Amino acid sequence: MKLRQLSPLDVTDSKIDYEFVSQVFIRFFKILFRSDKKIKMIYSNFSNKQSMGNDFLVLNFRFRNALWYKINKKRTEKRQFVFSKMDCPEIIEIVVYGFFQKKSFKMNINQMILDEAELKEVESQFSY
């Protein structure tokens, strides 16, 4: 029987994302003792005024009783997601996983950008 030659990456690289697993584990125990375990959206907004320049769009969101999120088929436990404006889809799908349940939300980025432009236009008419 011939042994397979292993590279250093095969030995040291783990398939498990320990930061993700630990965050989900902590959130699981926080939700475990709550009486209301339903997933609820607290807020969602976006910003393109970041220190990274005007090429990125940052989506901020918060859900009550969420363990992790899947945004356009990318899994994360963070409450912020950064899109490149070049690769940003028109509709962003957020799937929120909670305590033995999941909810799906769809956001139209173009509509949110238009709403923000209209708000700025109205604000510019008033002097403070």
Q: How far apart are CA 28 and CA 88, in angstroms?
A: 31
Per-residue pLDDT of the chain (128 residues; tens, 9 = 90+): 677 777 766 666 667 788 888 999 999 999 999 899 999 989 888 776 655 666 777 888 899 999 999 988 888 898 888 877 777 778 888 899 998 899 998 888 766 665 655 555 545 555 44
- Contacting residues for 114 by C-beta, under 8 A, at least 6 apart: none
Backbone torsions φ then ψ of 105, nearest 5 degrees: -130, 140
**Around 112, how many Cα atoms within 13 Å sit in the side-chain half-sphere?**
17
The pLDDT value recorded for residue 9 is 65
The pLDDT of residue 46:
76
**Would you state the pLDDT for residue 50?**
54
Measured CA angle at 37 (ends 33, 43), to 5 deg: 120
> What pTM, to 2 d.p., does this model score?
0.71
Q: Which residues pair with 105 in a beta bridge?
A: 94
pLDDT at residue 57 in the model: 79
Under CATH, which architecture does the 16-124 domain have? Sandwich (2.60)
Q: Where are the domains positioned within the chain?
A: 16-124
Per the CB < 8 A criterion, the answer to whether 28 and 67 are in contact is yes
